[in-house]
Structure 1
């Protein structure tokens, strides 16, 4: 099975749509073909072939005036250039990955060191006191609002009217009312529990 000797061409003679040509025996024309193939110091053997894809019309010509007298369509320059570009892009992507990994490792290390430093540092007494003081300030700010809300619940006019109606209906005073603690006691219990 014949294979094309052009750099980057993998055509074989098993393809019916291609023709394969031997290198010419005429020394001048042979030299032109070898130069066109551009494989450096390479010399073709009697088995070396070029496929018809390297000729403009798709077949060789024996007319010295024809552009197909010498093969001229070679993608090796394009192939070599694109492979160099792909290699450069691969290297660039690899460098970017390494840079990102390095940044991530640095951030992780800084985070760990910061965590260790915070865990090892003794609690500052003034910070603890200021935190306790700010908690007390918040509680003092909320306390009047809570007292007002509780007082409004106790002295809601609708509740007072319902209680008056209940007293009129019943001749006896309910035992549960006398057993309940005064509203002020309830207010103080809530403040202390918080």
Structure 2
């Protein structure tokens, strides 16, 4: 069963094509504080991620990744911040 990004409006799925395009998939963190920060950034009402829920690399800045090894990893403490497909009522004004 293919893995799909769980962000609102994102259609990325883990396939051979997405791998060739450089899209990676990252599970929600196990640390409760960081997990809560991801959920707040996610902005989905009553959303409770499972242990298998993932976000694709399109929702992170390039500086958020550690690409020094064979495996692309997120840097410690990173929070997803790129959500271009939010509907108007979910877009938040930065203060």
TM-score (norm 1): 0.36
Other-structure match for 2:32: 27
Other-structure match for 2:50: 45
Q: Secondary structure at the match of 2:36?
A: helix
What are the Cα deviations for residues 130-164 of structure 1, in whole angstroms up to 9, with x where unaligned?
Answer: xxxxxxxxxxxxxxxxxxxxxxxxxxxxxxxxxxx
Tell me which protein shows more helix as a share of its residues: 1
Tell me which protein shows more strand as a share of its residues: 2
Other-structure match for 1:3: 4
What are the Cα deviations for residues 94-131 of structure 1, in whole angstroms up to 9, with x where unaligned?
Answer: xxxxxxxxxxxxxxxxxxxxxxxxxxxxxxxxxxxxxx
Q: Find the aligned partners of 1:61 and 1:9 in 2 and give their Cα distance.
A: 22
The answer as to whether partners of 1:8 and 1:75 remain within 8 angstroms in 2 is no
Counterparts of 1:68-147 in structure 2 under 5 Å?
69-77=78-86, 80-81=87-88
The answer as to whether partners of 1:36 and 1:71 remain within 8 angstroms in 2 is yes
Q: Secondary structure at the match of 1:33?
A: helix
Other-structure match for 1:176: none
Q: Secondary structure at the match of 1:13?
A: coil
Count of residue correspondences: 74
Displacement of 1:61: 1.5
Taking only aligned residues, the RMSD between alpha carbons, in angstroms, comes to 1.3
Other-structure match for 1:61: 75
Q: Find the aligned partners of 2:75 and 2:8 in 1 and give their Cα distance.
A: 22
Q: Secondary structure at the match of 1:43?
A: coil
TM-score (norm 2): 0.72
Displacement of 1:76: 3.0
